Every structure is written in C-alpha cells, then in structure tokens.
Structure 1
Amino acid sequence: MRKLVPFVVDVVLVVVFCLLGRRSHDEAVLGAGLLRTFWPFGTGLVLGWVIAVAVASGREGASAAKRFDGRTLWPTAVIIWLSTLIGGMLLRAVSGQGVVFSFFLVAASFLGLFLVGWRVVAQAVRTR
C-alpha cells in the first residue's frame, strides 16, 4: 500500500493542475469538463509510471519492479513529468482539444513544479 502513495500524490496533483487551469479560464471546475481536461494528462501520467518502472527493471533486473521507489528524482520523476506533459499534449491534440505553445509552457512549468517538486521536498526531508 505504501508503494501506491507516490502514484496517488501524482494523480491528485494532476487533478489540481487541471482544476487550476479550468478555474483560470472561468470554466466549470467539476464534472464532465474536469474529466475532459484530466484524461489526456492522467493517461500520460499512467504511461509515465509504466515507463519508469520498466526503466528501473531494465537497468536493475526484474526484481527492481518490486523495489521500485516512485519518490526518486532521477530518472523516475523526470520520466513521469515528461510523459504526463508530452502524452497529455499529444492526446489533447488528437482529441481536438487546444494545444498552443503558451499552454505547453504553462503546463510544462506547473507539471514540473508539481510532479518533480514534491519529490525534491520529500528527498530533502528524508535526508535531514
């Protein structure tokens, strides 16, 4: 159960990212609108977790998946952040949702702050 906590934190932070974005554009924050905004990034997030576990397993052998720590910065946080960002943008584009460069920059910044940032704080607290 403890191994799921980092994944749950990531999901909550991606939902918060979507809520903030919808609220900043005066769009409905809850319901179908939130789901429409969340699903591309949520899918990218899940894909990032799968890739991060696979990378750890590839580097360290099959038993690494059992020891996988979703709190690590490199390469886990970077893989999850980039997959959430790029996967989310690609899925938004193919589903007819807007993707403009300024939104890409904002999403990259916020998702980086959220998905990498909490791990930086957690690592700093662990090393004290």
Structure 2
Amino acid sequence: MSSAKTRPANRVPAKIVLAAAAADIVLILAFAAIGRDAHHRENPVAGVFLTAWPFLAGAALGWIAAKAWRSPLSVRRAGVAVWLGSLVGGMLLRGLTGQTVVLPFVIVATLSLALFLLGYRLLGAAAAKFRNR
C-alpha cells in the first residue's frame, strides 16, 4: 500500500494536535488558577487541580465528540466543541461531586472559557488570513 492511501494528504501534523491540546489544558488550568486566586483559597496547587479537573474532563469529551484532532485549531470544528464540553461537562461533574455550581460562576466560566478556548483559535485564524494576503 502506498502512504497516500494509509495517510490522508490533509492530515494535521501531530505537533499541531499536541500543541492545541496542551493549549487547552494550560488555558483551563489558568482559568482555575485565576478563579482560585480571586477567592483567596488555600492549597493553591492542589486547589487549582481540584477546580480544573471537571473542566479538563469535559474538554476531553469535547475533543472526542468533535474528533478535534482532525482540525484542532478550527474555531467551528474543534473550539466550540471543546468550549461547550469543558463548560457543560465541567458544570455537570462539579455538581455530581458536590462542588459549587451557582449562576454567577456559570456565567464567569462561560465567558472565561469562551475567551480562552475560542480566543487563541480565532487569533490563529486571523493570523493565517493575514499571512495568506
């Protein structure tokens, strides 16, 4: 078999997929760290992971549902799914594990995660359009 049949020509390089996944993880951790810092909680490192894990799990589900590795920098194909997965999955998991889920937090999480998870993808798309001019 030729490599053209085993690997599509438009396949996204693994380093791009890994970079997008890492960016999502770092940005969700930053969201959790900013929130923890704003509320002056104890155990900063463990607390960040306690706050972040439901959102990270939800983002992973979003990656899987959207098959985001096929177009990890796409706002529409990957970003929206990762954002909604992290938000909805994160809130559901927080609620199921007895963590706080109140309207002000949902609003802040919605806006913050959208800014973070969609923002870098939008910037990347704008930069690509600019480069192609």
For the aligned pair, the TM-score class normalised by the smaller chain equals 0.7 to 0.9
Q: Deviations over 1:78-109 (max 9, x none)?
A: 11100100000000001000000110000000
Residue 20 of structure 2: aligned partner:
6
Q: Deviations over 1:101-126 (max 9, x none)?
A: 11000000000000001100000011
Residue 42 of structure 1: aligned partner:
56
Q: Deviations over 1:10-49 (max 9, x none)?
A: 0000000000000000013633212211110110011110
Task: Indicate the structure whose relative CO is greater, using CA pairs within 8 Å and at least 6 residues apart.
Answer: 1
Quick check: which has more Rg, 1 or 2?
Answer: 2
Aligned 8 A contact 1:28 1:34 in 2: no
From 71, 74, 87, the counterpart of 1:72: 74
Question: Which stretches in structure 2 are left out of the alignment for 5+ residues?
Answer: 1-13
How many residue pairs get aligned? The number is 116
Question: Over aligned residues, Cα RMSD in angstroms?
Answer: 1.4
Question: Which stretches in structure 1 are left out of the alignment for 5+ residues?
Answer: 57-64
TM-score, with structure 1 as normaliser: 0.86
Q: Mean alpha-carbon deviation: is it higher for 24-33 or for 9-18?
A: 24-33
